[in-house]
Amino acid sequence: MRILITGGAGFIGSAVVRYIINHTQDSVLNIDKLTYAGNLTSLDSINNNPRYSFKQLDICNQAGLKQVFTEYQPDAVMHLAAESHVDRAIDAPAAFIQTNIVGTYTLLEVARQYWQTLERDKKLAFRFHHISTDEVYGDLGGTDELFTETTAYAPSSPYSASKASSDHLVRAWYRTYGLPTLITNCSNNYGPYHFPEKLIPLMILNALKGFPLPVYGDGSQIRDWLFVEDHARALYAVITQGKIGETYNIGGYNEKTNLEVVQTICGLLEELVPNKPDGVKSYKDLIHYVKDRPGHDLRYAIDASKITRELGWRPQETFESGIRKTVAWYLQNEAWWHPILEGLYKKNDYGRLG
């Protein structure tokens, strides 16, 4: 296949690009606006592969998208481009409305117009895969329930509301125009190449510097953690095997409170980096509780039984194995994250929470 991937320089997008180039014979054209979270060095390992190409482009640029579709002639689209940071959405929601809603609409329209021109066999084989989040479902509170593909939408933040809107647009383009779409909603991702302001890398890197480890509220918020490389495998399974018009939830079956996540990281660092920064006796002593985020959802948890039952996917990493790999990766790849931190410090933009 010739796959057009939007947002392929981001955290999840780059994992998907690396997976496809390393584990399939498909070709990828990666289009990315290269905002603060886009990083082409995440793709250095496959950058010279003849099946990979890149074009810097904003998905709101309709003329640019039309040119890409005409020239590349994709067999499938995997749409990952999105503004995704909840704190940034609270501070400045306009970019989330523009990229996540207007950008998705623009991409859908260009894809629809392209799809309608295809010959019969290519038209039947075409796929538009929209990658979304479990945050569209809102908050499970303290229950033992899980998000399923039929859970009602109840977004809580400007970010999740913009993603919910984009999901609805994709379903409307399927129902109204027949565009062959698929939607996936995933739980919290973690792993290598994660932007340093997100929770897990922020805690690792702050601890290494002896900085406070800021935890919202009392740290009791629960998330289901999904190793990003497991997610990439799931997304490829959906684009190649998924049923048109269907939604698939993707989760890691790893529910942890934020405080448990931070304490686990501290424990791994005690083992892997016993020589601590000056004045630090224990990494856990760096944990610092801060005022909770407005509208902070208490619990997310995914029922991923449908994708397991229908497509045979299941996560390979437990949280324990995945978080160990993640901490080790950050310890071994300062050349990737150090320049990002330097840029964030200059902008006084470091220290947000994931």
Specify whether 159 is catalytic.
Answer: yes
Contact 76, 118 (CB under 8 A): no
Residue 185 and residue 303 in contact, taking contact as beta carbons nearer than 8 Å: no
Q: Among the options 32, 58, 83, 135, which is catalytic?
A: 135
**Is 283 an active-site residue?**
no
Fold for the domain defined by 2-194+227-252+300-317: Rossmann fold (3.40.50)
- 278 is known as an active-site residue: no
Closest by alpha carbon to 127, among 83, 56, 174, 76?
76
* Among candidate residues 189, 201, 319, 184, the one with its CA nearest the CA of residue 255: 319
For 90-102, letters b (16+ CB in 10 Å) and e give eeebeebbebbbb
**Domain residue spans of the chain:** 2-194+227-252+300-317
From 159, 193, 236, 248, active-site residue? 159
Catalytic residue among 134, 224, 230, 317: 134
Task: Tell me which amino acid residue 1 is.
Answer: M
| Helix 104-116 with 158-177: angle, nearest 10 deg | 20
Give, for all 354 residues of the chain, the pLDDT tens digit. 999 999 999 999 999 999 999 999 999 999 999 988 899 999 999 999 999 999 999 999 999 999 999 999 999 999 999 987 777 778 889 999 999 999 999 999 999 999 999 999 999 999 999 999 999 999 887 677 999 999 999 998 999 999 999 999 999 999 999 999 999 999 999 999 999 989 999 999 999 999 999 999 999 999 999 999 999 999 999 999 999 999 999 999 999 999 999 999 999 999 999 999 999 999 999 999 998 877 677 888 999 999 999 999 999 999 999 999 999 999 999 999 999 888 765 555 544 444
